[in-house]
Structure 1
Amino acid sequence: MKIGFDCVKCKGRLKCGLPRCPVLAKLDIKKSLKPKKEFKSETAGVFIGWHGYPKVYAGLLSPHESTTNKGPREWVNNKSSIIDVMTYRSSLVNSRNKVKIKEVKGFNEYVQSSALSSKPLSIDVSLKKAPKILVNYNIHSQPYGPAAEVKELRVNDHPRIKKAVQKVHYDTDLKAGEAMIILKQKELEEYEISSILSAGTLGVDKNRKLVPTRWSITATDDTLGKNYIKKLKNNEVIDYYQVFHGKYFGNIFTILLMPRFWSYELIEMWMPGAVFSSNETQVMTDYEQFNGRKKYAENTGGGYYASRLPITEWLASNNLQASALVIRQITKDYYMPLGVWVVREAVRKALQNSKKFNNYEQARTYTERLTGFDLRKSKLIREKQTILQKFI
């Protein structure tokens, strides 16, 4: 977060209304970081950059000291705070090298072994120079800390690879999308699947390559979501309205399911004080009709696909079909971006709490009361076409 005049004037006294000063929080995290040039640790993930593609930085993430590997599900279950997540992720050093995305030998082998392994790998790291103390974050992927190029790296044990992962990895005739669906059916989490995809370990042999982390996350959400959509289109359409509501890390989600064939819209309301927001509420939206969309959801980005995935999964698993209108309110309590996994988990939380209504007016009134958003501005609502008019 850039320090501006208001931040200088406030000096951390929270005159902005935020629950925690992002500037001071970032400084506190930096003070706790003491990166070294050489250290022993355990792998905590991989990170593939996108600058300079098709020649990118590929790195192993690891703390300076061995620690329990943590991820989104642990943070949700343990009720971790934003600062908890930022502190842990910012402690991870990105030991990296510049590589070509098609390379299969050398440093890329370490990256692939780490991504395929279900357990952290013990490593000895020697960097070319001590990494600068940085806290890196964006809206797409999880934060990470200092980064430096590797001088020497030694992996001290062999990767433990799950049978399902091993099977799709060694099947070089299996397309990456099909492999991802198989891994999801074997109950691997999206976070594992996107990491495996990112390391270039899935797909037809000649097509395998490193995939930048931010791209692999969206590709995973999109591929798995489309598979669920294909399934739910064969289900009966609901004959009621259902509104789900929940929040996580300052992201409030309200989901309105309507008795129509599948369609979907995400409306994002960036409230004053929220990360990346201005002093006024900003509204962004993307949507798709029954046959889907061909272009990337530019307005809402990765959040579009991260939000759609758990909704389609819920509908498919309950043998239902509906049109889904999703309203995401990003409040000032979300003062540091942690990645689109927050969206995915927030929607899952919302899907645990719902009310049913017999008609649209009741559902509309309830939804507008929860969100303050005029549903007449929704593209799905404006269609105002019945199922018979639209699809028969």
Structure 2
Amino acid sequence: MTRRKFQKLNVEPGLCLKCRGSKHLCGRAYCPLLTHKTATLTLSRFGNKNLYGSSPPSVFIGRYGYPRVRIAPLVPPMTGDTSIYDFPENWIRLPIDSILSMRFSLVRAYMHVDVRRPETGEVEAVREIALSSSPVDVDVLLKKKPSGIMFDEHVPPLGPASPVEKLRVEDNPRIERPVEKVFGDVDMKAVEAAVYLYRSGVPVSRIARIFSVGALGLKGKRRLVPTRWSITAVDDILSRYLIEKVKDLEELGEILVYTRKTIRNFFAAILLPGRWSYEWIEAWFPHTVWNPTNTLEVEGDWEGYWGRKTYASLGGCYYATRLAVAEHMYFRLKRQARVLVLREIYEGFFAPIGVWFVRENVRKMFESKPYRASSVAEAIRYVSRFTRLSAGDWVKSSRLLRETSLQKSILEWVRSLG
């Protein structure tokens, strides 16, 4: 690679010689050189317009131009078991470089369709792929050589794209009985169908995929849903379902603290006695994905016992985390509580790889043994041993912690009156 290309990647060549993609000396969470080479190699495989491969299965529905959007099966130039390519629940154990390599090899063979007409022949072929529980062989004739890759904060990274000339599904998709049931039931609402699939053990990522292709809902009401929106919608639907059940549980009788550090990110959760409430706070350090400035940015959002009626300001991560929290409360602790989840994002985390990263890391965090604190102050001090923000900064940023401190101050004042 020439010096100019190193400069374009904003990498010092000398560091690469010392690091060789293993030590992350440039400060990034992934190797930009290897990622660049992977993307270049992937694009070089597509020397013509013919593409034959096994879709994981995976599909993508865009949002630009809504209601007329791009819809595409994602197909790699290889056959066999490619299921891991679109299974975020199993990505937690993989380095980001490997995830990017897999995702960049998935070609978006797109066509333009109206989301209000999900019964056309073009959509039916894509829907067949989306409903399958295992890889599906697809034969595609593209109009031109695919190009470009795509990053998105909600959706896993996407490989090169090209408009499709002809698309043929070569396999008979394997459709599980619960999926077949909700697809065929035109009297079941989409929300009920999503919950039914979840209770049947279908992974969240698959439910979002099925939701996106207009396979759920009442007759005449089914619509294609952009992938970005379907992911958040499913996280929202499932977490609300669980939260209503959590509210019937006894209140937590102790203070629990969970922590997890991974890939230039730190997560922590403080669970406090009380009725259900939830808060999500992110601290983006300078020179990260969504904070290219030189100053720290801290943002948060929350909901009380009765939930929220407006869309969370922090978007998909808020709902992805809420689902992981609700799962832990209902399935493991079997208690309700006031829950604060914190996330610090450090310099070098430059790859927006989707909200799955947050959901799966918070799930993983809750698998660890919690620290039991005797007071809120002790819980905050414990978390601050791992964070770069001070305890005072977290308290100032957290509505839940401020309210807890205020309630304690009022209680102490009342007690002082005798």
Q: TM-score, normalised by structure 2?
A: 0.86
Cα drift, residue 26 of structure 1:
4.0
Q: Which amino acid aligns with 2:28?
A: L
Q: Which of the two has higher C-alpha Rg?
A: 2
Does residue 368 in structure 1 map to residue 384 in structure 2? yes
Cα drift, residue 282 of structure 1:
1.2
Distance in 2, Cα, partners of 1:174 & 1:247 = 41
Cα gap change, 1:114/1:315 in structure 2, threshold over 3 Å: closer, same or farther?
Answer: same
Out of 131, 147, 150, the position equivalent to 1:136 is: 150
Residue 321 (structure 1) aligns with:
336
> Greater CA deviation, 186-195 or 9-18?
9-18
Out of 147, 169, 181, the position equivalent to 2:183 is: 169
Distance in 2, Cα, partners of 1:145 & 1:223 = 29
Residue 202 (structure 1) aligns with:
216
Distance in 2, Cα, partners of 1:209 & 1:19 = 38
Cα gap change, 1:151/1:81 in structure 2, threshold over 3 Å: closer, same or farther?
Answer: same
Residue 98 (structure 1) aligns with:
112
Distance in 2, Cα, partners of 1:12 & 1:182 = 55
Aligned residues of 1:268 and 1:329 also touching (Cα < 8 A):
yes
Cα shift readout 1:47-68 (whole Å, capped 9, x = no counterpart): 0000000000000001011142
Distance in 1, Cα, partners of 2:171 & 2:11 = 52
Distance in 2, Cα, partners of 1:112 & 1:63 = 18
Taking only aligned residues, the RMSD between alpha carbons, in angstroms, comes to 2.1
SS state of the match for residue 261, structure 2?
A: strand
Does residue 80 in structure 1 map to residue 94 in structure 2? yes
Does residue 228 in structure 1 map to residue 242 in structure 2? yes
Distance in 2, Cα, partners of 1:88 & 1:376 = 40
Residue 379 (structure 1) aligns with:
399
Distance in 1, Cα, partners of 2:136 & 2:348 = 36
Residue 285 (structure 1) aligns with:
300
Cα shift readout 1:204-232 (whole Å, capped 9, x = no counterpart): 11110100000000001000000111000
> Greater CA deviation, 28-37 or 214-223?
28-37
Aligned residues of 1:138 and 1:338 also touching (Cα < 8 A):
yes
Cα drift, residue 13 of structure 1:
3.6
Out of 223, 227, 231, the position equivalent to 1:217 is: 231
SS state of the match for residue 351, structure 2?
A: coil
Out of 55, 59, 66, the position equivalent to 1:46 is: 59
Q: Which amino acid aligns with 1:379?
A: R
> Greater CA deviation, 37-46 or 325-334?
325-334
Cα shift readout 1:91-130 (whole Å, capped 9, x = no counterpart): 0000110001122121100111111111121111101111
SS state of the match for residue 112, structure 1?
A: helix
Cα shift readout 1:342-365 (whole Å, capped 9, x = no counterpart): 000110111122111222221121
Does residue 260 in structure 1 map to residue 279 in structure 2? no
Residue 332 (structure 1) aligns with:
347
Cα shift readout 1:303-360 (whole Å, capped 9, x = no counterpart): 0001110111110113200000010111235331210000001101111221112222
Q: Which amino acid aligns with 1:322?
A: A
Cα drift, residue 250 of structure 1:
2.6
Distance in 1, Cα, partners of 2:229 & 2:113 = 17
Cα shift readout 1:126-182 (whole Å, capped 9, x = no counterpart): 0111112x2211111011111111111111122111101111111111111111111
> Greater CA deviation, 363-372 or 94-103?
363-372
Distance in 2, Cα, partners of 1:183 & 1:380 = 33
Cα drift, residue 284 of structure 1:
1.1
Cα gap change, 1:185/1:362 in structure 2, threshold over 3 Å: closer, same or farther?
Answer: same
Q: TM-score, normalised by structure 1?
A: 0.92
Aligned residues of 1:306 and 1:343 also touching (Cα < 8 A):
yes
SS state of the match for residue 181, structure 1?
A: helix
Q: Give percent identity, aligned residues only.
A: 38
Distance in 1, Cα, partners of 2:401 & 2:184 = 47
Aligned residues of 1:43 and 1:61 also touching (Cα < 8 A):
yes
Cα gap change, 1:188/1:16 in structure 2, threshold over 3 Å: closer, same or farther?
Answer: same
Cα drift, residue 80 of structure 1:
1.4
Distance in 2, Cα, partners of 1:330 & 1:19 = 11
Cα shift readout 1:5-52 (whole Å, capped 9, x = no counterpart): 896584584785335453x34421222112231021111200000000
